[in-house]
Amino acid sequence: MTSVNPKDNAADLTVLGIETSCDETAAAVVRGPHGRQILSNTIRSQIDEHTEFGGVVPEIAARAHIDILDRIVAEAMQEADCGWDDIDAVAATAGPGLIGGVIVGFMTAKAIAMAANKPIVGVNHLEGHALTARLTHDLDFPFLLLLVSGGHSQFLLVRGVGDYERLGTTIDDAIGEAFDKTAKLLGLPYPGGPHVEKMAAAGDPLRFKLPRPLLDRAGLDMSFAGLKTALRTQAKKLEPVDDQTVSDLCAGFQRAVSDVLAARTKSALDLFKQRHPDVEPVIVVAGGVAANAEIRSSLLTAAAEAGARFIAPPMRLCTDNAAMIAWAGIERLCEGPVDDMALSPRPRWPLDARQAGILGAGRKGAKV
Amino acid sequence: MRVLAIDTSLANCAAAVLDNGADTACFEEVGEEIGRGHAERLMDMIGEVMAEASTAFSDLDRVVVTVGPGSFTGLRVGLSVARGFGLVLGKPVVGITTLAAIARAAAPSDGGADLLVALTGKGEEVYCQQFTADGEVCGDAGVRTLSDLANCLPRGIRLAGSAAESVAGKLGAAPEQIVSRCGFPGIRDVAELGLTADPARSSPSPLYLRPPDASPQTRGRIERQ
């Protein structure tokens, strides 16, 4: 296996990235670290396949990935105008995520790396999100990351490549998951986020009193499962519900999530300032939930009040994509030679390995 | 022609290099019955067998892979790797069913009764396909229940595969009708079939035979006006 050590040679690297950990089949070619450039970023979403089930079905997702991944990779290479000789390494998500899909992506990547004689980098999906802002913005370590998606809701202190500290996380549902479950409960289509937001636009956020879970406690952990249950309890009393009630429930839910996130973001920035008093505080937001306008605006306000710089990469790079995986691969390779051919795909893989798992301490290890 | 063959569909994890050229003939194989965990072992086995056969990836004319029926995760491990190789090499990737490869080894070739290859599925179900005594396909692969098979299989049929014993029991077949109990194909049979398979008719696509276990859930939904 060849190895790449850019410290010997300051030239940029060209890396093929592959992402298949949830319901997006994606491949991308990215150059960096100096002249940061996304040469291609191909994504095929599986929303249509999962719609009738109201959520991502792991086996359906895995089947969809194997059906099209090789074609998606070929498209990404073609769009980047790259042959196999033009790339320096292959990076692919090795976890955490739905294991059936992770296996398809990571094994495909290993095969490409072996046949093309390139190094393989197994990227932690969360690390991809954590480092994306360094692809899109001039940003030095350390910074604070809020990752809010269908699978994760956590605050991470990003001190360097491979140096992360999870400051707080949801102890049950991820926010995107709570949006999806709320939508399903109210008979709104999948994915729930945009539909709940649309209904909320015509709703009164104050009509229903919904809890702000865990805000009475110190720390940065969050909880969203109880919020969804509280919403169900209130809705049950009014069954069958009219459209206005659905709108009001959605508005109340969205406001509760925004309030929790804004409060926790302020505390997280306070903690960041304590830890790094000499550094300009920066909060980076990643994940599909950042597309919600009310949540985004409450995060902006929270950042402004704390005197922090607010960075949200463009939505296409904020939700699951392979450019972030390729970029994380570049960042890893810049730290020294990498050879992850022996690494196994992992369903669970906390970014901060020192931290005890919060959820699911079973055979597969901690979920978050 | 020189092929790399891969099988991760069932309990076996195996790779082989086979060349049928007059002057270049060779066969090397590496494999182990591991049950599960194919993703962890496969790449090492491929590296090893390629080295044993002194073969570079550029020497390969095609890649052969089992497509199932088998473990959904296992067959996707092999298919991902085979298709990844195909992408880089620009060479055909051909898919072989586990049933056909088992039939190739088990076929009695005596001009007698047909052969049913049957693999154990969920509960009463088996994944199966009927072949002639020479191993030629003579029916579609499918999922059948043991009772269903007992009602419609011809009396003298020969049996192979992990479910051969249970099918024989249900059928009241004589012990000599069971020609093999092996629950996975031999990698050499996979490779041999791959040499002659027509790429246009042997797509490297999974043969699951079962839809995903998923049904729309409406329980707990709030009634709308």
Same-domain check for residues A156 and A265 = yes
Instruction: Using the predicted structure, report yes or no on whether residue A209 has a pLDDT greater than 90.
Output: yes
Same-domain check for residues A303 and A245 = yes
Which residue, chain included where needed, has tokens 């007059």?
Answer: B22
Per-residue confidence (pLDDT) for residue A194, from 0 to 100 = 94
Same-domain check for residues B125 and B155 = yes
Same-domain check for residues B77 and B141 = no
Distance from CA of B13 to the nearest CA of A (A): 14
Residue B36: CATH number of its domain: 3.30.420.40
Same-domain check for residues B26 and B54 = yes
**CB nearest to B88's CB, from A99, A116, A235:** A116
Sheet holding B93-96, edge to edge: B26-33, B12-19, B2-7, B62-66, B93-96
Instruction: Kindly state the average pLDDT of the residues A182-204.
Output: 94
Per-residue confidence (pLDDT) for residue A361, from 0 to 100 = 43
End-to-end CA distance of chain A: 33
- Taking residue A83's Cβ as centre, other Cβ atoms within 10 Å add up to 10
| Model pTM above 0.90 | yes
Please state the ipTM of this predicted complex: 0.96
Per the CB < 8 A criterion, the answer to whether A108 and B83 are in contact is yes
- Give A-chain residues touching B77 at CB under 8 angstroms: 103, 107
Range of the domain at B92: 2-98+184-196
- Give B-chain residues touching A339 at CB under 8 angstroms: none
Average pLDDT, chain A: 92
- Give A-chain residues touching B57 at CB under 8 angstroms: 114-115
The share of chain A scoring above pLDDT 70, in percent, equals 93
Distance from CA of B164 to the nearest CA of A (A): 28
Range of the domain at A102: 13-132+319-366
Which residue, chain included where needed, has tokens 């959605």?
Answer: A250
pLDDT tens, residue by residue, B24-73:
999 999 999 999 999 999 999 999 999 999 999 999 999 999 999 999 99
CB–CB contact A99 B46 (8 Å): no
Per the CB < 8 A criterion, the answer to whether B155 and B199 are in contact is no
Per-residue confidence (pLDDT) for residue A365, from 0 to 100 = 47
Per the CB < 8 A criterion, the answer to whether B117 and B102 are in contact is yes
CB–CB contact A187 B222 (8 Å): yes
Side-chain half-sphere CA neighbours of A311 within 13 A:
23
Distance from CA of B171 to the nearest CA of A (A): 34
Residue A177: CATH number of its domain: 3.30.420.40
Instruction: Using the predicted structure, report yes or no on whether residue A6 has a pLDDT greater than 50.
Output: no
pLDDT tens, residue by residue, B91-127:
999 999 999 999 999 999 999 999 999 999 999 999 9
Same-domain check for residues A80 and A116 = yes
Same-domain check for residues B76 and B109 = no
CB–CB contact B83 A108 (8 Å): yes
CB–CB contact A107 B214 (8 Å): no
Residue B152: CATH number of its domain: 3.30.420
Same-domain check for residues A93 and A155 = no
**CB nearest to B43's CB, from A105, A114, A186:** A114
pLDDT tens, residue by residue, A311-321:
999 989 989 99
Find all residues with CB under 8 Å of A198, minimum gap 6, and list them. Answer: none
pLDDT tens, residue by residue, A261-271:
999 999 999 99
Which residue, chain included where needed, has tokens 């209904």?
Answer: A199
Q: How many independent structural domains does chain B possess?
A: 2
pLDDT tens, residue by residue, B150-180:
999 998 999 999 999 999 999 999 999 999 9
Same-domain check for residues B66 and B124 = no
Q: What is the DSSP string of A302-362?
A: HHHHTT-EEE---HHHHSS-SHHHHHHHHHHHHTS----TTPPP-S---SSTTSPPSS--B
Please give the Cα distance from B130 to B44 (Å, whole number).
35
Instruction: Using the predicted structure, report yes or no on whether residue A366 has a pLDDT greater than 90.
Output: no
CB–CB contact B225 A100 (8 Å): no
Nearest CA in chain B to A235: B222
- Give A-chain residues touching B87 at CB under 8 angstroms: 70, 73-74, 112
Instruction: Using the predicted structure, report yes or no on whether residue A8 has a pLDDT greater than 90.
Output: no
Instruction: Using the predicted structure, report yes or no on whether residue A5 has a pLDDT greater than 60.
Output: no
Same-domain check for residues A87 and A39 = yes
Find all residues with CB under 8 Å of B105, minimum gap 6, and list them. Answer: B180, B182, B185, B186, B189
Q: Quick one: pLDDT band at residue A355, thresholds 50, 70, 90? A: low
- Give B-chain residues touching A52 at CB under 8 angstroms: 216
**CB nearest to B224's CB, from A62, A74, A241:** A241
Instruction: Using the predicted structure, report yes or no on whether residue A158 has a pLDDT greater than 80.
Output: yes
Greater pLDDT, A10 or B197: B197
Per-residue confidence (pLDDT) for residue A142, from 0 to 100 = 98
CB–CB contact B221 A103 (8 Å): no
Please state whether the peptide bond connecting residue A194 to the residue before it is cis, i.e. omega within 30 degrees of 0: no
Q: Quick one: pLDDT band at residue A171, thresholds 50, 70, 90? A: very high
Domain assignment present for A172:
yes
- Taking residue A163's Cβ as centre, other Cβ atoms within 10 Å add up to 12
- Give B-chain residues touching A231 at CB under 8 angstroms: none
Q: Which residues of B touch A (CB under 8 A)?
A: 39-40, 42-44, 46-47, 57, 72-73, 76-77, 79-89, 205-206, 208, 212-217, 220-225
Nearest CA in chain B to A246: B224
CB–CB contact B43 A185 (8 Å): no
Instruction: Kindly state the average pLDDT of the residues B7-11.
Output: 98
CB–CB contact A66 B80 (8 Å): yes
pLDDT tens, residue by residue, A121-152:
999 999 999 999 999 999 999 999 999 998 89
Domain assignment present for A3:
no
Where do the H-state alpha helices sit in chain A? Answer: 47-50, 58-79, 99-116, 125-136, 175-185, 192-200, 225-237, 243-275, 293-305, 315-318, 323-334
Nearest CA in chain A to B223: A240
- Give A-chain residues touching B88 at CB under 8 angstroms: 84, 111-112, 115-116
Q: How many independent structural domains does chain A possess?
A: 2
Instruction: Using the predicted structure, report yes or no on whether residue A236 has a pLDDT greater than 80.
Output: yes
CB–CB contact B214 A236 (8 Å): no
Same-domain check for residues A146 and A291 = yes
Residue type, B219: R
CB–CB contact B84 A70 (8 Å): yes
CB–CB contact B224 A246 (8 Å): yes
Q: Quick one: pLDDT band at residue A4, thresholds 50, 70, 90? A: low
Same-domain check for residues B19 and B94 = yes
What is the phi/psi pair of residue B64, to 5°? -115, 140
CB–CB contact A240 B42 (8 Å): no
Distance from CA of A74 to the nearest CA of B (A): 7
CB–CB contact B223 A240 (8 Å): yes
CB–CB contact B81 A115 (8 Å): no
